[in-house]
Amino acid sequence: MDAVTYPTESVVQFITENIIPLRIPSNSEPLATEFKIKWTPTLIILDWNGKEHSRTVGFLTPEELIPSVLLGAAKAYYELDMFNEAIVNLDKIIQGYPQSAAAPEAVFYRGVCGYKSTHDPKPLKLAYKKLLAEYPQSEWTKRALPYRLLS
């Protein structure tokens, strides 16, 4: 990713404005063992307490890196019950990177966060409809299948 992804201007700008990057060699101890780094590149999204919320392993193109990091941040906010903050990141993926590998999962979690923040089942059903229309073969569409029954 050093040759292709990281030097891309949009990636540099995104990282500079949105995250605190820390690069650790895969053989750097004790962190490699503590974070179970088995292959490179491994990107881990941690919260401000050092708790892991997301991990990707392997090469990501510039077009996939940004939505992957946004999804990791959204999952961190979701797991911390900060649903509005999660929704902000999920909407960035859905609107800005709809063809990315992260998009179907973002739609799924957008529905879940919408429900968790309002207790209204409408966001779950809307998420299922969007998944069915735009990502019919996605595993996230299958996971959202029960939402079709909501009124």
Q: What ranges do the domains of the chain cover?
A: 9-149
Partners of 45 in beta bridges:
54
Find all residues with CB under 8 Å of 46, minimum gap 6, and list them. Answer: 52, 53, 76
Q: In the structure encoding, which two tokens stand for residue 39, read together?
A: 């292959």
Q: What CATH number should be reported for the domain whose range is 9-149?
A: 1.25.40.10
* pLDDT at res. 3: 66
Q: Check residue 4 and give its pLDDT.
A: 65
Full-model pTM: 0.90
pLDDT number for residue 38: 87
Collapse the DSSP code of 20 into the 3-class scheme (helix H, G, I; strand E, B; otherwise coil) and give the result. coil
Least Cα distance to 71 among 57, 49, 56 occurs for: 56
Per-residue pLDDT of the chain (151 residues; tens, 9 = 90+): 666 677 788 988 999 999 888 888 888 899 889 989 988 899 999 999 999 999 999 999 989 999 999 999 999 999 999 999 999 999 999 999 999 999 999 999 999 999 999 999 999 999 999 999 999 999 999 999 999 999 8
Predicted confidence at residue 84, as pLDDT, reads 97
- Report DSSP state, residue 148: G
